[in-house]
Structures are given as C-alpha cells and as structure tokens.
Structure 1
Amino acid sequence: MNKNLILICDDQESIHETIGEYLKLEGMDYVSSYDGLEGLNKAREINPDLILLDLMMPKMFGIEVCKEIRKTNNTPIIMLTAKGETIDRIVGLEIGADDYITKPFSPREVVTRIKTVLRRTTNINIEKSKYSVSYEGLKINLDNHEVYINNELANITPKEIKIFYILASSPGKTLTRDYILSEVWGYDYFGDTRVVDTQIKRLRKKLSTYDVNWQIKSIYGVGYKFEVC
C-alpha cells in the first residue's frame, strides 16, 4: 500500500518538524513548502493526498492558494491559522477547505484530523464513485465532479457539486443546514451553518441562468430541498 503524502505549507519550520515526526509515526510521508507560491506549485507538481495550509504566509496567502487549487483540484485541505475569529473559519470553509485548526494546537490533534479527513474523503470516493443523479435537463456525476444542465457543462465548484448532489439525491425531502454541513464538510461542530447558506446562494445564482423544471427551495428555519416543478 502506498503511503499517504501530505503537503505542509507553513512558514514556521517548527510546524514542519513536529507535525512531520508525528506523520512518520503514522506511516505517512510529507513534503514541505514555506510560502504560499511554493505551496501552490508543489500542490500542482506532486498531487498530495492532503494539504495542511497556513492562512498567513509570505508571497501568497493561504486563502488565495486554496482558491487556486479548488479551480482544478479537490484535494482535501486543512487550514491552519493563528486567528480564532468566526469570520476566518467561515471564509476558509466557503472557499473549499475541508477542516480548520486554530493555533496553538498539538501535533497529535493535527494528525488525528488528517486521518479523519483522509478516511472521510476516501469513503466518499468509494461509496459514491458509481453513483450519479439524473433528471430531465440535469446530470450530476461525482466520479469526475461534473454537472451537466441542458447538456451543457456547468461551472460549479466541488463543494457546490456535493451540496447539489446531496439535495438532488433526496428529491422533495427537506435537509437541515446542520445535516448538509456534516455531510459536505464531515463534521457538525467546527463549522458554521452560514457556510451552507452562502454556498447555496452561489449555486442558485449559477443555476438561475438555465431554463429548468427543478429548483433548490428554502424551507424557512429548517434548511433546503430539491424540488421538481
């Protein structure tokens, strides 16, 4: 079995040393980068299994690195930051991070989160790889993260596709914000349900340009549901 390869992007050498030792103990390999631009280039070059990405780095902030990666790649990303404000957590999740850890942290906690995210994303790939959702004028394919609307490839991000798939897989059923948050980001206590509202708002805006007979409907105070008109 191949070892999981983790890309650590952080400008503090001590972070690489401590987390790196714990990763080795768990049978994982890692590659280091010490600024955002180098991290982005290495992410494209080595295609790691997971990226630890610091929010504040020289040359290119972690948020910008995450945005660039998410344009073409769904590699799991865990954001690291010294900031603990809710707004930072929300921004990190909105632009595609899978988890969020605030400094200071223990290396053991970080490695535990890494294992959890890797296990979750692997299970999702295995369980859903053979599934797609189709309606008149709509096809959502999780194998290649593509959505076709009226036979046209839609410009939708990986997180938006996951949300769309979850809703379309249960037509007419109201799904709570907490449920969607847990299914898409994999936990229900580190995030904020406003992330779900923001993602669905963006998804709806993209969908509004198409002539279709289905919609994502808001259920006040509860959540959302996919409804065929």
Structure 2
Amino acid sequence: MSNKQLLLIDDDTELTELLSQYLAPQGYELDIAHDGEAGIAQATSGKHYDLILLDVMLPKLDGFEVLKKLRVTHLTPILMLTAKGDDLDKILGLEMGADDYLAKPFNHRELSARIKALVRRMSLLPATSVQQNLKLDDVELSPASQQVFCNGNLLELTGTEYSILHLLMLNHGNLVSKEEISEKVLGRKLAPFDRSIDMHVSNLRKKLAEFNSSEKIKTHRGAGYLYLVEA
C-alpha cells in the first residue's frame, strides 16, 4: 500500500520538522510550505494530496485566504490548526469549508488520530460506488460521483458536508445524534462545547436553501438532527 500524501502549510520550521519525523513512520509522506502563497502553489501543483494541514497564522496569505482559494477548485480534506481557545478562528474556518480543526499546542497522538480519521473516510468513499443514488423529494445524492443535486442544481459541498448529508438522508425520519455524526463522519468522539457539527449542518442548510426554501434538516436541541421528507 502506498504512503498517504499530506501537505503541511505552517511557518513554524521547528514544528514542521518534528511532524515530518513523527508522521513518516506511520506511512505518511509530508510536503511542507512555510507561507500561504507557497501553500497554494504546492496544493495546486497537480500532485494528489490525501489531506492538507493548514495553520491559520501564515505570512503573505493567512490560512483563511488559503482555505477560501483552495475551496474554489479543491475538495481535499483540510484540517485547520488554530490558536488554543480561539473559537472565532474555529467557527470561521468551518464556515469557509474546513473539515475539522485542532488547537495549538496539540498532542501529537491527537493530531495523528485526526489525520487517520479524515484520510480513512476519504479512502472508503470509492467503495460506495456500488450503491444506488439516494433520492428524497428534490434532493438526489450520488455515492458514485460524491455529488448532490437539489432541484437539478449541483451543490458545492465539502467532503464533510457530503458525508453528513449522506448519513442524515440514509436515516431520514429518524433522529441522528451529534455524537453519532462526529464518530461516523469525523472519526472521533464529540468533545464538550464542540460546535463543529453545528457549523457543518449550518453550511448544509444554507447550500440547500439556495435551491429550495423548505426545511430539510431539523434541529432537536441537545439531541441531534432529523432529515425531513415530504408527506
């Protein structure tokens, strides 16, 4: 099995060297860029990356600018590295299309677990190609192409948004807890005060609402989410 390809965009040279040494024995090949412009150039060079690790504080272009530019053309999973306790950075990153976030300073084992979960989720997606399209009212999801259409219009979803919607549609009419979504989509247990699932669902609602005004995803406060189908 070939090594997984990662791109780390971070200007902390000591940290990038440590992560290179730590991740290599785990089967990851790590390319490094030390500023936002170099990160975009590397990410769009034509090389396939299984995951991008993106720091918020970068020279030339900050992490949010890099994320915004990459999301125009790339659906590669992006794990944002944010300042510890800076909830605004976390929320903004998720709103702009990041798949997950991790606050600095972080435990290397926690980083490894996050990387493994996101990479594993993406590696399993081709296996869904044998599944039939899932159509509920005016929303149609294609596991083969990993695309979603609403009223015939293609939705520009991130990998995480697609996976959440797929899970909710498969369980339509039944409540799906945030804990289940976190474990099945992000590959980790839901931490206290973690708003990542809420932000991803909020993004989904906005994108669905562009082409249909009816409520598709209902929130049960403190419990989870319910995908609604017309009677």
Q: Same fold (TM over 0.5)?
A: yes
- Look up the match of 2:56: 55
Q: CA deviation at 1:42?
A: 0.6
Please tell me the residue identity of whatever aligns with 1:36.
G
- Look up the match of 2:39: 39
Residue pair 1:178, 1:193 contacting (<8 A) in 2 also: no
For structure 1, list consecutive stretches of 5 or more residues without a partner in the other structure.
Answer: none
- Look up the match of 2:111: 110
Residue pair 1:94, 1:195 contacting (<8 A) in 2 also: no
- Look up the match of 2:84: 83
Q: Are 1:225 and 2:226 counterparts?
A: yes
Scaled by the length of structure 2, what TM-score is found? 0.82
- Look up the match of 2:173: 172
1:224 alignment partner, SS class = strand
Deviates more, 1:204-213 or 1:46-55: 204-213
Residue pair 2:179, 2:190 contacting (<8 A) in 1 also: no
For structure 2, list consecutive stretches of 5 or more residues without a partner in the other structure.
Answer: none
Residue pair 1:70, 1:158 contacting (<8 A) in 2 also: no
2:102 alignment partner, SS class = strand
Deviates more, 1:47-56 or 1:159-168: 159-168
Please tell me the residue identity of whatever aligns with 2:40.
L
Once the two structures are superposed, residues 102-150 of structure 1 have per-residue CA deviations (whole angstroms, 9 ceiling, x without a partner) of: 3333545534443343223323x14433333113432112333321223
Residue pair 1:90, 1:192 contacting (<8 A) in 2 also: no
- Look up the match of 2:144: 143
- Look up the match of 1:4: 4
Residue pair 1:90, 1:191 contacting (<8 A) in 2 also: no
Q: CA deviation at 1:98?
A: 3.4
- Look up the match of 2:66: 65
1:16 alignment partner, SS class = helix
Q: CA deviation at 1:17?
A: 1.4
Deviates more, 1:138-147 or 1:183-192: 183-192
Q: CA deviation at 1:9?
A: 0.9
Residue pair 1:18, 1:107 contacting (<8 A) in 2 also: no
Residue pair 2:137, 2:229 contacting (<8 A) in 1 also: no
Equivalent pairs, count: 228
| Cα separation, partners in 2 of 1:130 and 1:67, compared to 1, 3 Å | farther
Residue pair 1:93, 1:191 contacting (<8 A) in 2 also: no
Residue pair 2:134, 2:140 contacting (<8 A) in 1 also: yes
Q: Distance in 2 between matches of 1:65 and 1:197?
A: 23
Q: Distance in 2 between matches of 1:44 and 1:211?
A: 33
Q: CA deviation at 1:8?
A: 1.4
Q: Distance in 1 between matches of 2:117 and 2:210?
A: 37
Once the two structures are superposed, residues 56-106 of structure 1 have per-residue CA deviations (whole angstroms, 9 ceiling, x without a partner) of: 000111122223323332222222234333333333334333343333335
Please tell me the residue identity of whatever aligns with 1:37.
E
CA RMSD of aligned residues (A): 2.8
| Cα separation, partners in 2 of 1:21 and 1:96, compared to 1, 3 Å | same
Residue pair 1:71, 1:157 contacting (<8 A) in 2 also: no
Please tell me the residue identity of whatever aligns with 1:6.
L
1:228 alignment partner, SS class = coil
Q: Distance in 2 between matches of 1:136 and 1:108?
A: 43
- Look up the match of 1:188: 189
- Look up the match of 1:101: 102
- Look up the match of 1:204: 205
Q: Distance in 2 between matches of 1:104 and 1:201?
A: 28
1:129 alignment partner, SS class = helix
- Percent identity between the two aligned chains: 36
Please tell me the residue identity of whatever aligns with 1:55.
V
